[in-house]
Amino acid sequence: MARPEVGPLGTVMSESHSEPSKEQHTSRWKGLRLRVLITSFIIVAAGAFLLSKRTVDPRETVARATKLKQAGRFKEAISVLDTLSDDQVPAAGLLVKAEILYHDLLHLSRAERAYRKLLEKQPDHVSGNEDIARLLATTGRRSDAVPHVLRLLRASRETDLLMLLARRGGGIADKQTLEDAASADPNDPLPRLGMAWMASAEGDFETAIPLLREVIERSPNLAAAWSLLGSQLAQFGEMVQLSNWARKLPESAKGYSVTWLALAQLAETTGQRPAALRCFYEALVREPESIQATFGLVRLLTAEEDQQAKEFLQKRLEDLQELETIQNQTLFSGRQAGVEDLIRLVRQLEKVGRLWEAYAWIRLGMEIDSTNREIRQLWTRLSQAADEFDLQQTTLASSPASHVDFSHLPIPNLDTVSEHAESLASRDEGISFRIRGSDIGFDFLFQDGTDWPPVKMFQLTGGGLGVIDIENDGYPDLFCTQGGLSPFPGGPAHSSDRLFSNQGGRSFRDVSHQAGFSDSQFGQGIAVGDLNNDGFPDLRVANIGKNALWLNNGDGTFTQETHAIPGDTDSWSTSCLIADLNGDGNLDLYDANYLAGEDVFERTCRREDGSVGMCMPFDFSGAVDQFWLNDGAGNFFDASEKLGITPNGKGLGIAAWRTGNDRHFSLFVANDTTANFYFRSFGEGENWHLSEQGVVSGLAYNSLGKAEGSMGIAIGDVTGDGQFELHVTNFLAESNTLYAASIPGSFKDVSSAKGLPLSTFDVLGFGTQFLDADNDSVPELFVANGHIQDLERWGRPFRMPPQLFRYRGGRFHQLETPRLGEFFQSKWLGRSVAKWDWNADLREDLVVGHLADPSVILENETSPVGNGLEIRCIGTHSSRDAVGTIVRAEIQGRHLFFQLTAGDGYQASNQRHLLIGCGRHDTVDRLRIEWPSGLTQEFHNIAVPNRIIVVEDQKSVSPMADGLSGSSRRQSLTGE
């Protein structure tokens, strides 16, 4: 076949040499002439168009578009501006175009491109920088907005965007604009990116993740979407998905600090410590203000590796945390900040190298009070130096990257995470609890003042619950602290604290008056312990005012000891603890104190709508905790200052336990909005001392480097590795935190990996306990929830349901079956929680305190249930309470770990026993007791179910007085 050739004007020429007919010739000539005419027309039209482009005045086009904009004809105005090329449009036209696209048509992506074109021509254009900063902050890109805000500050522009710099992880939440923009341009990814950011800020993982995947599918190169997706996957512990995300990550996403923080968590979770250090460092290079990255380096860096770098970073972390505290008090408090607050803020900003913010705030200070000497001095110094400031949020000189370098360390190996199925065992969830109260003689309602809903600080805490066996009959009794109408001395008469005597596991009887209790202080937490080693447990009661010490006389009555603690002055104590902290065999006292200030009990703050509401903890100073050492002669002396008790705590919860092979206790204090305390014991005898190591241990903050609103504490070996984890409850929108021990004195926040954020972000947790509800050898986790004030009009829950979690497949799973019982189907204002076995049936029960509702006993009615072994330990060389005793049980090759702890979390004291769930097994093969004194004992082949007493240094165990009381009243898994 002959190959055709392309002839003039695209006609097809054949290789045939035959002559065309006359008709063919005429037709071809007409076709050729038509094509020539069409081509000529196109050329002429193109020339005319080009001529018009050359002769049109861009200013006239912009003026015409501006008139159309003023007339509300926005689309026509954009069409007119589109007749000009980008290079032709003057800055004024680009601003008109950008404003129409952003404010009127809500085409966010096109608006962003127009603003960027404008800023290419005029980088310091004030309106352009302000608008694009708002657009970026609204669509979840705060870090991209920061440079534009800094240009505004350099131009001395007064802007509310200054607040954007103060709130880490912040943005502009404008749901309506985002929804309208999504409708205006359904193909624009930016509105959905903004919605995903808002969902992530609210902890709505299930909404944020799909939205981000949709955005990335539409715009694969949108780096901010990749970065936020990685952050969400890391926050909620989706390690397999996070690994897949990292493999596909575009290079542009690595410009974000958040991307490197997600990679750091992936590296740390998979045991790649050097790579985690590298990732935290890269995050800090990109965002020197990052508390999370700074804290990550402090946690992972050992003094042996680089002592100088560790000390520098630790000091930097303290400065950043102090700045956050000052910002909360000055900018985000319900109270009216004063000039002194502003001066503190400016000085701290200057200290950490955030000079443009310091400049902007002191400029505002000059407008408020230009006669103030300190303000004038700060203004003079900062304004004169402003021309030399780097256009960065933190100056290069103050950036940690100018002082430390970990760029030589490897990046994470992404082949270390393998997919695995996590499935719950297929089994009947038989866990069930029954509400008991007045039907068995337990009738207690905490009084928290006259105002309702609560608006004053003292109304938020609720009362304390202490389990105490006053007569050592094996049936635990219950002590409840009472509040009152007001915490002020000389105010209305208060009801006394109350003691309920257990009547053989069948009911309770109020014996408060007979026992001699007449304390009319405003009660808070409680600690139980045998302070004088006489065999009968005593009480330490925390109050608003003077704390109380009640000694058990052994005959069912108590005597208040008023002279044993000289210097025990009025304070607001919440939780307290009794334990032998220095190992001398005598029980010591620790009082966790909360807030201080002349008006701490009276001050209220204004809500968003101007109504009266409760203030926040950062509106007040913290009250200094107190530590009392027992001299062995019945007296206590204040050792707080000597032992390094720090003044910046706002303590709500407390717990003491032994870590690793330490003979002495470690002490943890859950502080509200300030760094948690972690005290370790060092030395012996006269050389013994406590050292506060919250930051270096990893317990001061969560994995984000954030000081949370911490309250409740539960301690237990939930993972079965022989180390004891700490579960800490926190404020709404923070999620609860699980700290896992790695080596003695070192902990890691593993909340995300264990699945806690998804279930605990939207609740406000108070009391919490680990308990083995079905005796299967794996502890469950209980949390009592409830807000501190009624904010339902703003969409925040007030009353909240409690939660019970199973631990399966390496993660916590919330149980939501109706079989749990009525209590879990209802909403409460939960506060203190203690665990006990009130009816001695070897099933662990709970008692829960509330605001506005009576306290309740949750009687464990789980069936079927495993066999249980109850152990009561009595020390002889150790303190009689034997708190700190570690018990290791071996059952059919499986090793279980338990410990008698002190403090027990939020304003509570648990029953002083250990209850070991043995599942279907009827024998504990080996029982190893490790006493605080250092003595170790072993016992073998203990039959279960059983209740035994172990006395230190005795060669055999003894049955409890009434044997297996109640064991016949329940069905076991073995059918016995």
Residues 6+ apart with CB under 8 A from 452: 852
pLDDT at 19: 40
Rounded CA separation 559/225 (Å) = 65
Residues 6+ apart with CB under 8 A from 745: 659, 660, 666, 680, 693, 697
pLDDT at 903: 95
CA 717 to chain centre: 21
Confirm if 885 and 875 have CB atoms less than 8 A apart: yes
pLDDT at 55: 55
Which residues are 569's β-sheet partners?
none
Is residue 648's pLDDT more than 90? no
Rounded CA separation 436/219 (Å) = 57
Confirm if 582 and 688 have CB atoms less than 8 A apart: yes
The helix (H) or strand (E) run that includes residue 748 is strand 747-749
pLDDT at 454: 84
3-state SS record for 614-628: CCCHHHCEECCCEEE
Rounded CA separation 952/954 (Å) = 6
pLDDT at 642: 65
Is residue 718's pLDDT more than 90? yes
The answer as to whether 749 is a domain residue is: yes
As a whole number of Å, the end-to-end CA separation of the chain is 97
Q: How many CB atoms lie within 10 A of CB 72?
A: 9
How many structural domains compose the chain? 1
Confirm if 643 and 659 have CB atoms less than 8 A apart: no
Amino acid at 842: L
Average pLDDT score over residue span 414-419: 68
- pLDDT per residue as tens digits for the range 136-157: 999 999 999 999 999 999 999 9
Spell out the alpha helix ranges (H) of 768-921.
822-825
The answer as to whether 233 is a domain residue is: no
Average pLDDT score over residue span 256-276: 95
The answer as to whether 465 is a domain residue is: yes
Q: In sequence order, what DSSP letters do the residues of 683-697 get, joined into one string? A: SSGGG-EEEE-HHHH
963 burial type by CB count under 10 A (0-12 exposed, 13-18 middle, 19+ buried): exposed
Q: In sequence order, what DSSP letters do the residues of 159-209 get, joined into one string? A: -TTHHHHHSTT-----HHHHHHHHHH-TT-SHHHHHHHHHHHHTT-HHHHH
pLDDT at 523: 96
Q: What are the tokens at 25?
A: 């010739």
Rounded CA separation 261/702 (Å) = 14
pLDDT at 643: 67
Is residue 391's pLDDT more than 70? yes
Amino acid at 264: A
At 631, give phi and psi (nearest 5°): -85, 0
Strands 612-613 and 626-630: unpaired
> Which range among 659-668, 753-762, 833-842 shows the weakest confidence by mean pLDDT?
659-668
pLDDT at 305: 74
> Which range among 46-50, 601-605, 833-837 shows the weakest confidence by mean pLDDT?
46-50
- pLDDT per residue as tens digits for the range 162-210: 999 998 888 999 999 999 999 999 999 999 999 999 999 988 889 999 9
Is residue 28's pLDDT more than 90? no
Max Cα–Cα distance, the chain, nearest Å: 135
Is residue 420's pLDDT more than 80? no
Over the chain, what is the mean pLDDT?
Answer: 89
pLDDT at 491: 61
Residues 6+ apart with CB under 8 A from 238: none
The answer as to whether 197 is a domain residue is: no
The answer as to whether 858 is a domain residue is: yes
> Which range among 33-47, 146-160, 213-227, 661-675 shows the weakest confidence by mean pLDDT?
33-47
Rounded CA separation 109/185 (Å) = 9
DSSP helix/strand/coil, 909? strand
pLDDT at 9: 27
| Exposed e or buried b per residue across 7-40, where buried means at least 16 C-beta atoms within 10 angstroms of its C-beta | eeeeeeeeeeeeeeeeeeeeeeeeeeeeeeeeee
Angle, helices 257-269/291-300, rounded to nearest 10 degrees: 30
Is residue 293's pLDDT more than 70? yes
Confirm if 463 and 542 have CB atoms less than 8 A apart: no
Amino acid at 919: G
Is residue 81's pLDDT more than 90? yes
Backbone angle region of 886, left / alpha / beta, with phi > 0 → left and psi within -120 to 50 → alpha = beta
Q: How many CB atoms lie within 10 A of CB 506?
A: 10
Residues 6+ apart with CB under 8 A from 651: 574, 575, 592, 593, 594, 623, 625, 669, 670, 671, 672, 677
Confirm if 542 and 553 have CB atoms less than 8 A apart: no
Q: Is the dihedral of CA 461, 462, 464, 465 positive or negative?
A: negative
From residue 489, give the alpha-carbon distance in Å to each of 451, 485, 597, 614, 947.
18, 11, 16, 22, 46
Could you tell me which residue, 507 or 563, shows the higher pLDDT?
Answer: 507
Residues 6+ apart with CB under 8 A from 831: 446, 461, 462, 463, 766, 767, 784, 786, 848, 849, 850, 851, 906, 907
Rounded CA separation 38/20 (Å) = 25
Reported pTM: 0.86
Amino acid at 10: G
Q: In sequence order, what DSSP letters do the residues of 651-663 get, joined into one string? A: EEEEEEE--TT-S
In terms of residue numbers, what domain contains 773?
A: 433-874
**Residue percentage of the chain with pLDDT more than 90:** 78
- On the CB side of 58, how many CA atoms lie within 13 Å of its CA? 14
What radius of gyration do the chain's Cα atoms show? 35
Backbone angle region of 888, left / alpha / beta, with phi > 0 → left and psi within -120 to 50 → alpha = beta
Confirm if 505 and 840 have CB atoms less than 8 A apart: yes
The answer as to whether 713 is a domain residue is: yes
Could you tell me which residue, 504 or 683, shows the higher pLDDT?
Answer: 504
Is residue 593's pLDDT more than 50? yes
pLDDT at 490: 60
Is residue 283's pLDDT more than 90? yes
Q: Residue 728's domain is classified under what CATH number? A: 2.130.10.10
Q: How many CB atoms lie within 10 A of CB 83?
A: 15
Which residues are 552's β-sheet partners?
558
Is residue 975's pLDDT more than 60? no
Is residue 44's pLDDT more than 50? no
DSSP helix/strand/coil, 70? helix
| Exposed e or buried b per residue across 279-317, where buried means at least 16 C-beta atoms within 10 angstroms of its C-beta | bbbbbbbbbbbbbbbbbbbbbbbeeeebeebbebbbebb
Q: What are the tokens at 501?
A: 């005597």
The answer as to whether 386 is a domain residue is: no
- pLDDT per residue as tens digits for the range 886-902: 999 999 999 999 999 99
The answer as to whether 261 is a domain residue is: no
Beta strands in 95-150 (DSSP E): none
